[in-house]
Amino acid sequence: MKQLVKLTNDFHNSEVTLRCEVLSHIYNEATIYPNARQITRAKRELCGIEGCCCSGDAGCCGRQTHNGKRLIVDCSAIYNT
């Protein structure tokens, strides 16, 4: 089921909202599966600074949560092109 999910970057104090697939198959954990364009957009909006190492592939920095659960961002879409 696609839902709106907010990702944050605590270092730059920025956030982005994505509509993507969310699976909660493990208690207290949710995994999102954004597509390659969403990952690129999130990285650009959360940390658009060239050469900055504040975050990973999706631009997230700090603890990510969704509906009170720990959020895992699956970035495999950018490697499956």
15-66 tens-digit pLDDT: 999 999 999 888 899 999 999 999 999 999 999 888 899 998 999 999 999 9
E strand intervals along 1-81: 2-9, 14-26, 29-33, 65-66, 69-73
For residue 21, the one-letter residue type is E
Work out the mean pLDDT of the chain and round it to a whole number: 92
Say how many C-beta atoms besides its own lie within 10 A of residue 17's C-beta.
Answer: 10
Confidence of residue 75 (pLDDT cuts 50, 70, 90): very high
Cα–Cα–Cα angle for 46, 38, 66, nearest 5°? 70
For the stretch 4-15, pLDDT in tens is 999 999 999 999
Which pTM was predicted? 0.89
| Pairing, β 69-73 against β 29-33 | parallel
